[in-house]
């Protein structure tokens, strides 16, 4: 498995501001993933973060709105920029671990963001 | 494109009962993995059980077991002797082998009543 921490666990922000969410893993991983979970919804992948290269964004998500950093193999940040109430969601990071022939994603505890 | 469908938005059972959550998926892949994740009110996504598509034997983890029907593309989760702590959202997820993008179903909200 994996031990993943996220900071902050929750925040309430004003529209127009930005929030940076941190994700720390207990050991080195190649890829880290950022998901958004809007209220009452399933998870949607925002982007995949590789160390040493730019993040790969999914359709509907852009770097200007969700810039991602990946300075080393155990850490990543996601910034939610110029926030609006529609950005109120849970943001989760995850990592993939391989055991035998099986790839499994493990998730951090999530950051609950409320934008007023 | 792969899709995952959970047809039961909500379920409710009494403590100690057995409950089965349904999941179907659509794919042209032959090698893949399937997962059930649990998300309690704390919002942490917790891996419950996983199944490799090449294995015919159904996965089991304590009170949790799956019924994997590859031809029917069905992957249901059975919870035996349900406990109050099983109350959570349950998400079925699909991952093609060699890929990194998990495909999630819409979730089933399970409530265990005392």
d(CA A49, CA A88): 22
Rounded CA separation A87/B75 (Å): 33
- Find chain A residues with C-beta within 8 A of B59's C-beta: none
CB burial class (10 A; 0-12, 13-18, 19+) of residue A13? middle
- Alpha-carbon gap, residue B93 to B31, rounded angstroms: 14
Looking at residue B101, its pLDDT comes to: 87
Query: What Å distances lie between residue B60 and A21, B65, B66, B84, B92, CA to CA?
Result: 35, 4, 7, 20, 15
CATH number of A4-109: 2.60.40.10
A110 touches chain B (CB under 8 A): yes
Q: What is the dihedral of CA B12, B13, B14, B17, to 10 degrees?
A: -160
Domain limits, chain B: 3-113
The pLDDT value given to residue A2: 83
Query: pLDDT tens-digit profile of B24-75?
Result: 999 998 899 999 999 998 888 999 999 999 888 999 999 999 999 999 999 9
Any B CB within 8 A of A72 CB = no
Query: So where are chain A's domains?
Result: 4-109
Pick the CATH number of B3-113 from 3.40.640.10, 2.60.40.10, 1.10.150.120, 3.30.70.370: 2.60.40.10
Predicted pLDDT of residue A34: 97
Distance between B111 CA and the closest CA of chain A, angstroms:
15
Which of A43, A89, A90, A92 would best serve as a mutation to test chain B binding (most B beta carbons within 10 A)?
Answer: A43
Interface membership of A46 toward B (CB under 8 Å): no
pLDDT in tens, A46-98: 999 988 788 999 999 999 999 999 999 999 999 999 999 999 999 999 998 88
* Residue A1 confidence class, pLDDT cut points 50, 70, 90: confident
């Amino acid at each position: 498995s994996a031990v993943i921490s996220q900071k902050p666990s929750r925040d309430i922000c004003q529209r127009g501001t930005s929030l940076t969410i941190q994700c720390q893993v207990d050991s080195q991983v190649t890829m880290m993933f950022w998901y958004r979970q809007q209220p009452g919804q399933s998870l949607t992948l925002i982007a995949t973060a590789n160390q040493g290269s730019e993040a790969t964004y999914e359709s509907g998500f852009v770097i200007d709105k969700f810039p991602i950093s990946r300075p080393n193999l155990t850490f990543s940040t996601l910034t939610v920029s110029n926030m609006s109430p529609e950005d109120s969601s849970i943001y989760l990071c995850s990592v993939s671990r391989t055991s035998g022939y099986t790839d499994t994603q493990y998730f951090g505890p999530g950051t609950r963001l409320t934008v007023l | 494109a792969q899709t995952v469908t959970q047809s039961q938005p909500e379920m409710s059972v009494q403590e100690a009962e057995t409950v089965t959550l349904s999941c179907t998926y659509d794919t042209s892949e032959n090698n893949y993995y399937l997962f059930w994740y649990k998300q309690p009110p704390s919002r942490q996504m917790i891996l419950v059980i996983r199944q490799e598509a090449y294995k015919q034997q159904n996965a089991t983890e304590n009170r949790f077991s799956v019924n994997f029907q590859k031809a029917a593309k069905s992957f249901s989760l059975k919870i035996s002797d349900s406990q109050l702590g099983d109350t959570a959202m349950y998400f079925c997820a699909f991952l093609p082998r060699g890929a990194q993008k998990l495909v999630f179903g819409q979730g089933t909200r399970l409530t265990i009543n005392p």
